[in-house]
Chains A and B, each alone.
Chain A
């Protein structure tokens, strides 16, 4: 049976980017307002799952040609690297650093090593979730 999913597919093409950009927003906003790497990662995963539902596994793999197991690795390295980096400044493991900067466009902004750690969390969540979904969904 061939289903007609033109509406779903067309909407998805737009909605995907909305969700994706929102997830990036949520990720960056996390330190001050609700959000963070974990939710951000989940939202991105949700966006990709939407793609999977509208199209199929192969099309999505072509559109997003990443090896998601490597994404997991990069995320873990990022998180562990941030945590371990503090050792080189002679402070205990996992000590974060932050300061406030005047950046063009953004104005007064705080830059925080916790954000790099959170980026690691984000990548691991996306990588692991998509890896699972791809392997389970691909098992047909």
Chain B
């Protein structure tokens, strides 16, 4: 079966969703939608056997073969892992949303269409082997994310957040496209597999570093790395199922996927390793540090997501070092990155869902108002506890395992000799340790400030109670995984992680089983990571207890020095600057605009004519002047003079008609019956139209034009006239290429089955032109109708913003 088509299954399902929502009122639309990710998940599980064996599967659908663009679904360990995350978590999120979104109050039709659109886009990103289609799907994720964040579009915050995420991620996407094009130039292919195969020839190419930076910009904006992370907290305006799905489990991991996928190409570069590891680590620290400042449950989770994404990013950077040294620890880092990616999806997904439940059942997400919910919502608390402890890196949860592997990898960077890591490497474990302490603090902050302690004296907006079991089902499943993975890490490693590692470091292994990593919870007392972990717990606990005292420190940073303020002022500057620039030349007077246009036409055409020495007059090519021609020309001139001198519009309109008819006469004289016919009819209709409409026109006056104005008008008019005449003379006097008329004469009967060349050109030879012309004509017709009807509908109020 061509499984590339399955990428489009969700988007096709989206076509049916609005109908189901409209006509099947009794059943929540989500139940139908649930079938899509669920069936895909079950289908894709079948590929595990292939990838575990180091194999891959390919399915191709041609799109634009001449440009080398096609939809290629390439499933190896890495894309399969992401595919399973997308469909698996997708199914859980849809299940959760069925209980979260009320079927009578919410516009579920919109919601599920956007969600399914996203699913297709995301599957496309992780499965595409062709970088151009990857880019297409990449932007589609940005667009569907925009739509989902703005789902409650009547809220200011939603619209602001949606726009912000779109601006930043689309900026990154465009940069990435540039990177892809450069890669395509270097490798002469758009296929990622072929690019990887020829990667060794790229080194030292002048585009190599530029392509690297551009691709990384795409990855960093999408995965909310410093300093682009600012869109993620604002994206929390989206409904919680969306935050849990897009903004923690899948979409923000697209950047990580990109880095992992392109590691084999760029890992040889020092810049890549420094940027990926360094920015990752900085983001890890920054996110964890500012998470503690937040008071909104979802904002805490957003910053923690930023921080965890940074952690995985830095591990991927460390994993790239494996290309430079045989030290096994760096192969280990890639394993840790993939492993933590899975773990993060499980615990963060469940935490987001709990935050949604708290919001749903109490009416607020403000942690300052919450507290003591443990006794009322015991199941939610248990799930939140498991998730948070895993995030903090405590046993027996999966986060503990990957966190220790992370610390080991960061410690090992000290010993890496190349690229100045010997000097600066010590920074990495130190920053990692500090960030881990803050991770510990915000994990505790999240779960205990919400569920433990005393209820606050002021009542919550709603009387809290435990959520319905359907809503709890998805987080419980995820929490079970959090605990389960702790006990069977090596099984997960064998099924999912090692095949993915092989895709990240393809040259180093022949078979996934050669990835020599064995995950263990206990490494003995001499493991430095163990002592680091214990120190994290100790210092973290102290900081958590004394949090009230030092949380004020965050207020030191003035608002105007934040990255958000920078974004806001950049946007404001952009809008105002553009406004001022366009006001400068857009005066609102048609006269000015015509002046610009005609002046440019004169300047450009005559310049081209004389620079290219194209001005030629060949007297011999002219046909003889007949009496009829002279007479018609005289009529034409008189008619034009009458238009200019007419005292009333009516006279001017009739004179204009005379101009048109005399032009038609010229066509007759020069034997162009088709043109003559059309010109005659057009002239008749336009005169009639003028007569119909002229009573609405204002009185004929000089519109306040002064003498100098008129002089300029004269110059421009004369200039245009002379220019057109010069061009016409030169065009007639020389032919750059032989005329196409002979071809038409030869083929009009045989190829097109017609006799009248003019009409055959219109409907056949140049049918495209005609198609677009009638499209434009339709738009014009409907435009006139709309403008006049709308203006009539509200005559007083013409400002559309009011």
Which A residues lie at the B interface, using CB under 8 A?
Answer: 26, 30-39, 42-43, 45-46, 49-50, 52-53, 69, 72-73, 75-76, 79-80, 83, 94, 96, 98, 110, 112, 114-115, 117-118, 120-121, 124-125, 127-129, 131-140
Q: Quick check: B763 and A118 within 8 Å, CB to CB?
A: yes
Residues of A within 8 A of B684 (CB): 46, 49
> A43-B681, A135-B784, A138-B788 provided; 17 other pairs, C-beta below 8 A?
A31-B754, A34-B758, A36-B674, A39-B677, A75-B774, A114-B752, A114-B764, A117-B763, A121-B762, A121-B770, A125-B777, A127-B781, A131-B781, A136-B693, A136-B696, A139-B788, A140-B696
Q: Least Cβ distance of B521 to chain A in Å?
A: 61
Contact of B752 among A30, A75, A79, A96 (CB under 8 A): A96
Would you call B767 an interface residue if the criterion is a C-beta within 8 Å of the partner chain's C-beta atoms? Answer: yes
Q: Quick check: B754 and A72 within 8 Å, CB to CB?
A: no
Cα–Cα distance between A19 and B254 once the two chains are bound (Å): 65
Q: Quick check: B778 and A124 within 8 Å, CB to CB?
A: yes
Residues of A within 8 A of B762 (CB): 36-38, 118, 121
Q: Least Cβ distance of A49 to chain B in Å?
A: 4
Contact count band on B: 35 or more
Q: Least Cβ distance of A122 to chain B in Å?
A: 10
Cα–Cα distance between A133 and B752 once the two chains are bound (Å): 35
Q: Quick check: A131 and B782 within 8 Å, CB to CB?
A: yes
Residues of A within 8 A of B681 (CB): 39, 42-43, 45-46
Q: A80-B771, A132-B780 are in contact. Are A32 and B674 (CB under 8 A)?
A: no
Q: Quick check: B768 and A94 within 8 Å, CB to CB?
A: yes
Would you call B792 an interface residue if the criterion is a C-beta within 8 Å of the partner chain's C-beta atoms? Answer: yes
Would you call B682 an interface residue if the criterion is a C-beta within 8 Å of the partner chain's C-beta atoms? Answer: yes
Interface residues of B in 745-781 (CB under 8 A from A): 752-756, 758-760, 762-764, 767-768, 770-771, 774-775, 777-778, 780-781
Q: Quick check: A72 and B782 within 8 Å, CB to CB?
A: yes
Q: Least Cβ distance of B680 to chain A in Å?
A: 9
Cα–Cα distance between A115 and B128 once the two chains are bound (Å): 43
Residues of B within 8 A of A26 (CB): 677
Q: Quick check: A30 and B685 within 8 Å, CB to CB?
A: no
Q: Least Cβ distance of A97 to chain B in Å?
A: 9
Q: Mark B386-428, 1 if CB is under 8 A from A, else 0.
A: 0000000000000000000000000000000000000000000
Cα–Cα distance between A75 and B681 once the two chains are bound (Å): 20
Q: Quick check: B784 and A132 within 8 Å, CB to CB?
A: yes
Q: Least Cβ distance of B27 to chain A in Å?
A: 36
Q: Quick check: A42 and B753 within 8 Å, CB to CB?
A: no
Residues of B within 8 A of A45 (CB): 681, 685
Complex: chain A residue closest to B779, CB-CB: A128
Cα–Cα distance between A139 and B695 once the two chains are bound (Å): 10
Q: Quick check: A52 and B685 within 8 Å, CB to CB?
A: no
Would you call B644 an interface residue if the criterion is a C-beta within 8 Å of the partner chain's C-beta atoms? Answer: no
Residue among B691, B764, B781, B792 with the highest chain A CB neighbour number at 10 A: B781
Q: Least Cβ distance of B665 to chain A in Å?
A: 16
Q: Quick check: A79 and B677 within 8 Å, CB to CB?
A: no
25 contacting pairs across A/B (C-beta < 8 A): A31-B754, A32-B754, A34-B756, A35-B759, A37-B762, A37-B763, A42-B685, A45-B681, A49-B688, A53-B691, A75-B778, A76-B778, A83-B767, A114-B760, A117-B763, A118-B762, A121-B762, A124-B774, A127-B778, A127-B781, A128-B781, A134-B785, A135-B785, A135-B788, A137-B692
